[in-house]
Structure 1
């Protein structure tokens, strides 16, 4: 099973490209199950190369974050790959929130050091004074080697062998996480599912809660319930 959220900025062209094309790039990696991390990294790089070529041809400066969740029912493993500041969190062992991603922002010391070591300009925790993330798809104006040689779509990849105590995964864009903590989100979803077991209703309620708490960004959410049937998890997406 494949689930993904793409959060675009400065236009929707890059996010739309990823929505239609990234899955295909992942599927074309013949050695995927031999070395999943390398395969995902290659797929992200090739997708970004294609996206940037199209964006340059169209004189389009848009970019996008990405967070992808892949569930392998045969091995009962969950793979999460991300680029940017969209997140995934796993509810484990009675509702404890386990982060599966770490934001690629310039408030993160290792990302700040990486950018500065390559000569990138950082102003007010933003790349070249404007870009809030340190990794992204597209953003061709920031990928000229003369201005920022280290802006990349290289993903960080987490692989987890699931067990019976793993309950659900929440995938969301920064409009959710800037307003609600990961533990708050996990508690909210767990309470919703205990009341009615309706994933779509829970996803919708979570987006509404983020907006009620003051989110001024778009809010997109996917909830993936684990261990609810053979082969693949059940999932639902909340409105943007």
Structure 2
């Protein structure tokens, strides 16, 4: 088991062409001003909710909130608290990595930003070694803040950062073949009251909205219909649930050394993330992001229920993350384990009052007849 670990200051405990206007752009401008935001040298320091509109594209999904004129006057501003934990589990080596940065703009030396909430959280599940996961956890946040579109066109900046990280790792591997490996990647950003989740692989992000699990990502498995179509259109195939008979995931960063999966003209293994955005409200309590070792033994609603109970007991996201990992071990998860819990409010989740159903009682016709007979006997 790993001991205490510090990751970025937190102790372990595509193109715009053809895209619709970003409905959250005004929020980003309000958060950071209309001027260009510049970044200095980086410092290392289950259900779809009715308020979400689902848009499916061939290159990914985007889930955006329905906004009304009243939303702008009563905007919910989250108070961020986060914790993370990891464990090697029953594996011989540890290949999972996480990043927790509650003050993203400050820690990555972004200038001219307001004091509104801004944070970056990520989980990276490596395979074939830890090099790709380490590389992605270090470079992905940097590529995001260095993008000229950040933070005004934040979705485009994040998607571009995934592809830049993948390309940069390919260049690193060409110089040092010992780095050859791959990793899934899931990043969650909080900017003001907006939550943006980008996923490539089978890590998962689940939002707790008043006790209900709202899945903010979907697992990229080769057998899924939306991934199968993309894979086959890219010249790939699925054999016994594996992409080209080699990987049990459909999207990942790295894996440039594996024949037939990636190339200069593309391939069936994609590094492009699917993006999901939502406007946080007072009903949103916390977010769980975890590598697939967590979700092998937790269903999304089950994880939300478990986390909610733990937060009600001690209200500590670090302890809660550790609780999730230890429970996954008890449930015999056979993988490395890494999880991040992000709370949006200072108080623990409230108890949810369950209204008692009204009980309707009735008497049968035979019962009424017997009652009438009894009353008549009393008169006599």
Which structure would you say has the larger Rg? Answer: 2
Same fold (TM over 0.5): yes
Aligned match of 2:314: 196
Aligned match of 1:61: 180
- Choose which of 149, 165, 170 in structure 2 pairs with 1:52: 170
Q: 1:129 to 1:64 in 2, by over 3 A?
A: same
Q: Is the 8 A contact 2:232 2:268 kept in 1?
A: no
C-alpha displacement at 1:198, in angstroms?
1.3
CA distance in 1, matches of 2:138, 2:201: 19
C-alpha displacement at 1:36, in angstroms?
2.1
TM-score computed with the length of structure 1 as normaliser: 0.90
C-alpha displacement at 1:155, in angstroms?
0.5
Q: What are the equivalent positions in structure 2 for 1:88-167 lying under 5 Å apart?
A: 88-93=205-210, 95-140=211-256, 141-142=258-259, 143-145=261-263, 149-167=267-285
Aligned match of 2:340: 222
Question: Aligned with 1:220: secondary structure?
Answer: strand
CA distance in 2, matches of 1:112, 1:146: 21
Q: 1:123 to 1:146 in 2, by over 3 A?
A: farther
CA distance in 2, matches of 1:159, 1:108: 22
Deviates more, 1:177-186 or 1:33-42: 33-42
Aligned match of 2:124: 6
CA distance in 2, matches of 1:136, 1:156: 12
CA distance in 2, matches of 1:147, 1:30: 25
- Choose which of 200, 207, 217 in structure 2 pairs with 1:83: 200
Structure 2 spans left out of the alignment, 5+ residues: 1-118, 348-380
- Choose which of 15, 21, 25 in structure 1 pairs with 2:143: 25
C-alpha displacement at 1:40, in angstroms?
1.1
- Choose which of 294, 297, 316 in structure 2 pairs with 1:176: 294
CA deviations on 1:156-211 (whole Å, 9 max, x unpaired) are 11111000000000000000001110111000000000111111111101101011
CA distance in 2, matches of 1:151, 1:144: 6
